[in-house]
Structure 1
Amino acid sequence: MSLLAVSPYRAMSADRGLLLIVALVAMTGIAAVGSAAVSHAGFNGQIASTVAKHLRDIVLGLAMATVAYSVSLDRYQQYSRLMVVLSIIGLILVFVPGIGHEVNGSKRWIKLGLFNFQPSEMVKVVAILYTSDYVVRQQQSLTDTVGGVIRPVVLFAIVAGLVLLEPDLGATIVIFASIMLVLFLGGAQMRTFIMLVVAGLLAVTVLAVGSTYRLERVMSFLNPWDDPFGSDYQLLNSLIAVGRGGLNGVGWSSGYQKLGFLPEAHTDFIFAVWSEELGFVGVTLLIALYAGLIVTIWQRARRAEAAGLLYGALVAYGVAFWFSFQAFVNTAVNLGMLPPKGITLPLISFGGSSLLVTFAALGIVLRVSVETMEREGKL
């Protein structure tokens, strides 16, 4: 199949449902960042600059989605192992002086001129592409042997080791959760699968209590009022913001907690800002939009599966789970249901790397949808 068998414009016309829900969520993100930008840049008059950067990242993301769509699923399968290698190289480069960029003690970024790119974000989609290919190639081994399930997990355990060195436990959890979902849908041997899930939960527990920084986050989660001006400060102010929202909120851009009280208000805690300003009604709308996006992607996956496009179906299932899992973790952290993990809200939070990779994943989902329609004879 040629790279441009169906033009991006024709593809968008063929799947207006996916395009519409993505546009609605992205526009909601622009509104959220436009308000939360006050916390990031308001005190030095750079609010417009922050919003402009977010809009720039969306434009770059749309370009990335177009490129991602233009590659056939066969090519993604063919080069999935190479993408894993490139991801590992990217994760190593963050530690190279002069190339890597450090923020708040974390080495997660590579300098790329206009912006800094976070390779661990790229790993999220690469893990899904590779694991889906592995399931298609090794389906018999996956269902019949222990090694068939363990091999891809061991490979990404090495990748996870590099991500943890940055350190970024949140991204590691998202990556492994997505891998396990794809393996489960691919028919992984159930006993081995359950053992790996239990082992993963134990590993997360050990990592959480084995680090002073992470242990403080866990303790602040258990009792956010114990140290209100120290380790509990971020979570406590998030809870205050959510509580102040009430039914209808205090009004868009009128939130108080973002004014120097709630750290990372435009990224990890943008949900709390949205909750304060638009209340329960606004939160319900946001959740409905996310549900619409995830259900839309899931439907594309089911159609691909019914059409016999197993690789595309697994990729789309993986992307739907990734978005839903990351959104759940982010909102749960903002609501005090989970310890803080530094995970963004897809398509809503400010952050170039997250937006670029998210749009790339959506471009791949559009490719799955179009190739499914081609197989069904509808294009």
Structure 2
Amino acid sequence: MTVRTGWQALTQHPLGFLASAWPWRSLAYLVSGVLTGVGTAAVLLGLLVFGVLLTPAVVGLVLLAAVPLSGLVVARFERWRMLLVDRDPAPDPHRPPDRPGVRAWLRTRVREQQTWQELGYVGVSMFGLWWLDFGVLAVSFFLPGLCIASMFYDLTLPWYGYVFDSVAFVPLFVVAAYPVTVWAGARAALTRAILSPREAELGARLGEVSRSRARLVDAYEVERRRIERDLHDGAQQRLVALTVQLGLARLDLPPGSPAALQVGGAHEQAKLALAELRELIRGVHPQILTDRGLPAAAADVAGRSPVPVTVDLVLDGRLPASVEAAAYFVITESLANVAKHSRAGRAVVRGRVVGDRLVLEISDDGVGGADVTAGSGLAGLADRAAAANGTLTVTSPTGGPTLVRAELSCLVE
């Protein structure tokens, strides 16, 4: 098991821990905590004093305004400093501004609870934490230092007495590694709880999961396009050539002869295989979607549906490729469900871009009763919509009608 914190090193290997770098890292964490506390107190005191003295001027107001924002700087440094005793980075819980510019950044930070929480941490650090850091260091090393210093008050000791006492007092310094590491771990845990709340860590991890899922979907689409291209340019062209050659050979044979019948049968089978391959290619990734966009691809699907379909899909321009692919397969699977299960007489596909989202609605006048959990392909559509940072809802009461509504984000990270 990989050791991520000083606490883990101490609890898992109480003796081997002494030979590791964790005691020294913990010592550096507490020493830097004392220096940070003293430095922060000096800087904030200077800002307050000079801000009050220079209040009639604009500079004084700027200095005073910098005081509540000082927590942002200190918190960022503390999250970085915490890596000394905790190898897991602490995520920054602040959300990005909704628009660029200093004013938008200030407005966002002032309205965030985390900003004031970090300012409170600065106060606690100045008036309490660095004093505790100093106290732990003083208690841990005061007794060993006092013992060694006391040797020099006894001038009657021979030289080997000094050596013996020095060696005897060394274990006291070794023992000091334990309280130093324990307090450093507690200090880091408290800092993480205040400056990187659990919700922020979960949000960062969920964000990374969403981005990873989006990357997988994009890679999947690239692979689908490669397979479609290979089938279109390779196997399909060979089948076309085979069909043409069989047709020509069929013309050269006497009508009604056994050879003509065999070649004719092979010709028909080749044409069926070519039709099935074209349908497979269209299912993998339709070329019309790449060439002409979503409205044309939706019209093509509607034209091949056994149920009459009206397409009302109006877009201002091309959407991102991943959004087009997700929307196309939502339409395809929904119309396939209409043909298989709904017993509908008509279906309608509507689509508009509202804000930064594509809103699709596929409705029919069938018998209803569609269930996402019943294995009709709707669960897969819901997963695909979620992977495109969207949602899919199905309204299908018994007796109909059925409405499948998908909202897909048009923003690509």
TM-score band, normalised by shorter chain: under 0.3
User: Please, what TM-score do these two structures have when normalized by structure 2?
Assistant: 0.18
Q: Whose Rg is larger? A: 2
User: Please, what TM-score do these two structures have when normalized by structure 1?
Assistant: 0.19
Give the structure, 1 or 2, with the largest relative contact order (CA under 8 Å, sep 6 or more): 1
